[in-house]
Chain A
Amino acid sequence: MNKILLIIKREYLSRVRKKSFILMTILGPVLMAGILVVPIWLSLQKSEKQKIEVVDESYQFSYISSKDGLRKGLIPENESVHFDYPEIKIEDARAGFYDTDYDAILYVPRNLLNGGQLGISLFYKKQLSNSVQEHIRTNMSKMIYEVMLAQNKVDMNVIKDAKDKSTFELKTIQLDETGKDKETNTAVNVGIGFACAIAIYFLIFFYGAQVMRGVMEEKTSRIVEVILSSVKPFQLMMGKIIGVAMVGLTQFILWVILTTSIYSIAAATVLKGMDIKRVQQKEEVIRISQDLNASQMGKIEHNPVVELWSKFENVNMPEILICFVLYFLAGYLLYSALFAAIGSAVDNEAETNQFMLPVTIPLVFSFMIAQFVTQDPQGSLAFWFSMIPLTSPVVMMVRLPFGVPMWELALSVSLLIGGFIATTWLAGRIYRTGILMYGKKVSWKELGKWLFYKG
């Protein structure tokens, strides 16, 4: 037992000290935080105010003031856009565009109300941001809409009222055994489930491959026979597998700590005190303002990133995190034993291919059916593949955010643990023969025979 600890320690330290480990540990959270922070930061950046020259031939967006005879505009402005309404012909405006400091010319044709809206054009020097374009389009569209209603003597309040009362979002609420409500959001669930599934999929491959390469290194460097005169093959194999697992856990914990700290620092500085509550309020407002008629809210732009991000709060993060670690560990143990067996059976990297394929197929397959699982997370497909040990780490993580009964979770985890004990036993029998076998091209049949060799 003491010896297996020595092996674990060596496997762990030799990997944790590597430059690549340190680099991955630091870069991981920076990338993760970047993915979370950068879009929000960008969306909140006040871009330089765009000056737009409006050439309005239709007089629907501007009028001549009776006081000073100057043209006055009607399109609402905000912090990122300003409109001027000079008396100028479109040909002249276009010709003189580069002599002015306008960022764009907005042209509205004369026959606007008779299909002329298709001729509304924006000429620019440098492309305007999506939010500015959207601001212009929605406001103009809304103004034309109101004009059309007014011309046809339709009461706008009636339309608004009808629209308000017919617009709703379907609330999905999970009613748990204790009678508590839990509001859920399918999109967020799918997102989290997939993110966890992808992470597990890659981590199992990544660390499984490390085990395989470690075994091959011992075999090809021929140190294995020296070590096997001191410890049992099974101890050496398990020591490596556990050592690498602890490397994975260390990396994961460091990632969580680093990501949260980078994120909170970023939240405190870059986002300038924009706390979650404010984002949520904003998001509530956005939901209302999605209605065209809630135009008074037009100032707040629709931001899907901010919206999605705020919904993470409704998900049971601790449960998902615990299950993630559990499924990663058990899934990793199951697959890494197989990877270790492969590493022991071959003499070089090229020979691994024929054995890698059958081992990776269940993992790739579980990833492929993940999308069907999101459509029906409680269906029989989802149920069975979240029970089968080879596919459950990925499939169960996809199901988890939708809520999985405790007994299913317990059964799935027990089966997975049983699965990894079985694969470890199998792998151990292949390993102890393969690790000392050189210069022989091994076939599946041969591996089968090894299972039955005596000690």
Chain B
Amino acid sequence: MPSILSAQNIVKRYAAHTALDNVSLEIPAQSIFGLLGPNGAGKTSLIRIINQITGPDSGTVLFEGQKLSPHHIENIGYLPEERGLYKKMEVGEQALYLAQLKGMPKAEAKKKLKQWFDKFDMNAWWNKKVEELSKGMQQKVQFIVTVLHEPKLLILDEPFSGFDPINANLIKNEILSLKEKGSTILFSTHNMGSVEELCDHIALINRSKKILDGPVKEIRKNHKSNTYEIEFSGNMMGFTNSLWTFGKLGEHKMDGEYCKAQVVLTPGTTANQLLESILPVAQIYSFREIIPSMNDIFISKVNAENPLGTKSNFTE
């Protein structure tokens, strides 16, 4: 798959610390790419470099194969995590202004804005000052302004913060339909549930270094620990004995006859062998492999990198 954005060996230093240390990314076109990492890992620094708000100390960024340059601004839409609007300015006027700054002609911006305002049913807000709107309403305006110029690359930093579940869902569907129409989305969030739900690829950055990247499915598959969860009714003692050398009992609990147990297979054993050995002692309700959540992978990866007692002390 061709990359829409390719960051190669990016280094960014501030006086006291290194924000990005030789970070490389390939963002495939028409996908949703999750940029993950703990606070202060360097995500914002990287996003600012892609937006050309700051420049890297070394390394290059390619946009559709070309060196990133100011005219690419029109092809990028950015919704920062810390976002705001001019409070005293009217909504419509402000949206027009921001669209024009992105290089849209006024008439076209106005037309498109009207469409979006119709779609989100917010025409009545056009002449209102921003300070009169609720936080959720302001976020909606901001989302529209970000996507209005139909950018090829959309950078969304915590796009769902400040939205109620209904509006969050609305925005989620808009993101998916933008992807369908051909946009690529760089999505930064701490909400691992939405990563699993939306992202095709991810990169995990920790302490200014990339420690993991790839397609979400593959990453989860690679982090499997050969663990199976079995629900059954029977005798836990008999169950444990029946495991023999095929596997090791992990977490388990009993509720009378009903049992639930996790078993880690010994290397070289297959799930079928395990099943065969327990079939005689247990009446099985369910048998499934445990695929680690992104949340588990995130925590285990980051904790492995940051041994206890050496907490990160730098700021974003």
Which residues from chain A sit less than 8 Å from chain B, CB to CB?
Answer: 3, 6-7, 10, 14, 217-218, 221-223, 225-231, 233, 436, 438-440, 449, 453-455
Contact = CB atoms under 8 A, between A and B. Distances in A.
Interface string B61-81: 000000000000100101110
Contacts of B98: 226-227, 230
Given A226-B98, A230-B102, A14 B83 contact: no
Contacts, number: 70
Nearest to B54: A455
Q: Which 4 A-B pairs have the closest CB atoms?
A: A222-B84, A455-B55, A221-B84, A229-B78
A454 B83 contact: no
13 contacts: A10-B97, A217-B86, A218-B86, A221-B85, A226-B98, A227-B98, A229-B52, A229-B76, A229-B78, A230-B101, A231-B101, A439-B315, A453-B14
Given A14-B86, A454-B55, 17 more contacts: A221-B84, A221-B86, A221-B87, A222-B80, A223-B83, A223-B85, A225-B83, A226-B83, A226-B142, A226-B145, A227-B98, A227-B101, A229-B51, A230-B98, A230-B103, A233-B53, A438-B82
Nearest to B157: A225
B88 A222 contact: no
Nearest to A3: B101
B239 to A, nearest CB: 55
B102 A223 contact: no
B315 A440 contact: yes
Q: Which of A3, A225, A438, A440 has the most CB of B within 10 A?
A: A225
Contacts of A229: 51-53, 73, 76, 78, 80
B100 interface: yes
A231 B80 CA distance: 15
A223 B97 contact: no
Contacts of A222: 80, 82-84
A233 B52 CA distance: 11
Contact of B53 (A10, A436, A438): A436
Nearest to A452: B15
A10 B97 CA distance: 8
Given A230-B98, A231-B101, A225 B82 contact: yes
B97 A226 contact: no
B89 interface: yes
Nearest to B51: A229
B48 interface: yes
A10 B49 CA distance: 27
Nearest to B57: A454
Interface string B218-234: 00000000000000000
A229 B14 CA distance: 20
Contacts of B54: 436, 455
Given A14-B88, A455-B55, A436 B142 contact: no
B70 to A, nearest CB: 8
Contacts of B101: 3, 6-7, 227, 230-231
Contacts of B89: 14
Contacts of A223: 83-86
Contacts of B86: 14, 217-218, 221, 223
A276 to B, nearest CB: 46
Nearest to B13: A454
A231 B146 CA distance: 14
Nearest to A230: B101
B132 to A, nearest CB: 15
Contacts of A225: 53, 78, 80, 82-83
Contacts of A455: 54-55
B88 to A, nearest CB: 7
B106 to A, nearest CB: 10
Contacts of B73: 229-230
A10 B89 CA distance: 10
